[in-house]
Amino acid sequence: MAAVRTARPAKHSNDAAVCQFVSAVGALTPVFATPATRQVPYNAGPMSAFRPTGDELTCDGVTLAAIAASVGTPTYVYSAATLRERITALRSGFGDYPHALHYALKANSNLAVVRVVRAAGGLVDANSGGEIEVALRAGYGPGDIVFTGVGKTPVEIDQAVALGVKTINAESAGELERIAAAARARGTVAQVALRVNPDIASESHPHISTGLGTHKFGVPITEARAIVRDASARPGLRFVGLHVHIGSQMLGLEPLRRAAGAVMGLARELRDDGVSVEHLDLGGGLGIAYEGETVPSATMYTAALVDVVRPSGLTLIVEPGRAVVGPAGALLASVVDVKPRGNGTRFVVLDAGMSELLRPALYGAYHRIEAVTGRAGVPVTCDVVGPICETADVFGVGRSLPEPTVGTVVAVLDAGAYGSAMSSNYNRHALPAEVMVDDGAWRLVRRRQTIDEQLVCEEE
Ligand code: LLP
């Protein structure tokens, strides 16, 4: 049962005024300036959900310490207001240009998150049969779903065909054949797009780049024309679009422009062949300011894509994940040990590690780490680590925090995307609890997993 709590005890009755003040100065003074003063990034300025109110870190005015005290840690906390704002900013960036925003469920498919996205007008991009099921349970219809994925199983293909999803983004000529066969067997016609690989560098981390010729994704763009010609004549298929996604956490728009230009060129060639497509799906990839980087705004991003695509008049589909949900979430964790290190620094061991948030260990990713209470304390230098038996289980080296002691709660910020979604039971950690803050109140939207639930699928 979802627990609902009211936001603030009476002693914080002036929170709104403090928030307004922080918001007003946010344009000049980064509220999370760490370790040096930086330009206010998109997700840490006035649009940030997680900000100090007096000596406490809050999410939309709700004190994070209160959530941690009630639910325990590790716990993910999400801001519904931020999710709404970010969907709205992206959608309105397209103006009158025909478009559809399909939120990439892989970033975070907690049902409560997905329902907020839906209510804000976002559609979905699913990457597996499981994600399609989540979309349906969140209230989406098949026509709201694009289905992507480099290795769709026969069962997943049949599920998508039977449902009649808006588009299946096919990864290969072989997959197009399998989709066509599944559609014919069911006496239906599947709407398909072809994912092309344009051999364009995303200039992002190599592990999250997908658009080079050496990567497993899509078909080489040079082969796409022949494949589409063939597929568009195949019974069981209706060819509706082209799809490209060259990478994630992109901080520049140029690679996205180039990818858009490449599929535009292909669309023109196809038109010359008598094959007309209806949409261009340019994937996701817009980055967020984990470390105070300058990132394109929603308006800059959408304008860049529309500029390239406008001459075609084709509907523009985007599949943002991180840019929607990343800054909307934080991971709360408690300090379980402090180990002094001779050199004046200390290991600060948390109850959350790579099993709850894999990004630092997997990509060397940076996430800001903030004290939830006692923020005015004298800062000390800490290596913030997890409890997992892996040397890579480190959240941050040389971080500055007010002297932590056992029981101190910290928030790992910008953890809404690819945080909970990539968590695991490694070391038999429970999947963490998740909380949604909405309209001044918070509620549990996933309770912490129990050890019985971990073992239920195993032999007795
Ligand atoms: N569309 C497709 C086909 C994708 O493969 C992805 C992400 C997206 C959309 C959404 O991309 P976004 O807007 O979130 O950048 N685990 C990594 C990120 C992997 C992204 C995989 N594909 C991380 O934590 O950084």
CB of 78 closer than 8 Å to CB of 328? yes
Residue 50 has what pLDDT?
97
Q: Residues 196, 218: contact at Cβ < 8 Å?
A: yes
Edge to edge, the sheet with strand 50-53 lists 50-53, 56-59, 62-63
Q: Torsion-angle region of residue 313: left (phi > 0), alpha (psi -120 to 50) or beta? A: left
The verdict on whether 389 is a catalytic residue reads yes
Q: Is the CB of 104 under 6 A from ligand 1?
A: yes
319 lines ligand 1 (CB under 6 A): yes
pLDDT-derived band at 210, boundaries 50, 70, 90: confident
Residue 211 pLDDT grade (very low, low, confident, very high; cuts 50, 70, 90): confident
Asked if residue 288 has its Cβ within 6 Å of ligand 1, the reply is no
CA–CA gap between residue 432 and residue 268 (Å, rounded): 48
Both tokens of 356, joined, read 């709850």
107 lines ligand 1 (CB under 6 A): yes
Which tens digits make up the pLDDT trace of 357-408?
999 999 999 999 999 999 999 999 999 999 999 999 999 999 999 999 999 9
pLDDT at position 185 is 98
For residue 284 and ligand 1, the question of a CB distance below 6 A is answered with: yes
Nearest CA owner, ligand 1 atom 5: 245
The one catalytic residue in 59, 382, 389, 457 is 389
Residue 30: what residue type? P
Per-residue pLDDT at 11 = 29
pLDDT at residue 417 is higher than 90: yes
Q: Is the pLDDT score of 229 beyond 80? A: yes
d(CA 206, CA 203): 8
Tens of pLDDT, residue by residue over 181-206, are 999 999 999 999 999 998 787 778 88
Per-residue pLDDT reduced to its tens digit, 87-140 = 999 999 999 999 999 999 999 999 999 999 999 999 999 999 999 999 999 999
Q: Is the pLDDT of residue 230 over 90?
A: yes
> 208 C-alpha to center of ligand 1: Å?
7
* Ligand 1, atom 19, residue with closest C-alpha: 208
CA distance 339 to 427: 21
pLDDT at 160: 98
Q: How many A from CA of 361 to the centre of ligand 1?
A: 17
Per residue in 8-59, pLDDT tens?
A: 333 223 323 222 222 222 222 222 233 223 333 334 454 589 999 999 999 9
Length of the chain: 460
The alpha carbon of 358 and the centre of ligand 1 are apart by a number of angstroms equal to 15
Complete DSSP assignment for 354-418: TTT--HHHHH-----EEESS-TTSPEEEEEEE-SSS-TT-EEEEEEEEE---TT-EEEE-S-TTT
The HSE-up count of residue 451 (CA atoms within 13 Å, CB side) is 2
pLDDT at 307: 97
Domains annotated on the chain, with CATH: 16-79+326-455 (2.40.37.10), 80-323 (3.20.20.10)
Q: How far apart are CA 253 and CA 296, in angstroms?
A: 7
- Cβ neighbors of 301 (< 8 A, separation 6 or more) are 90, 93, 253, 256, 286, 323
Does residue 74 have a cis bond before it (omega within 30 degrees)? yes
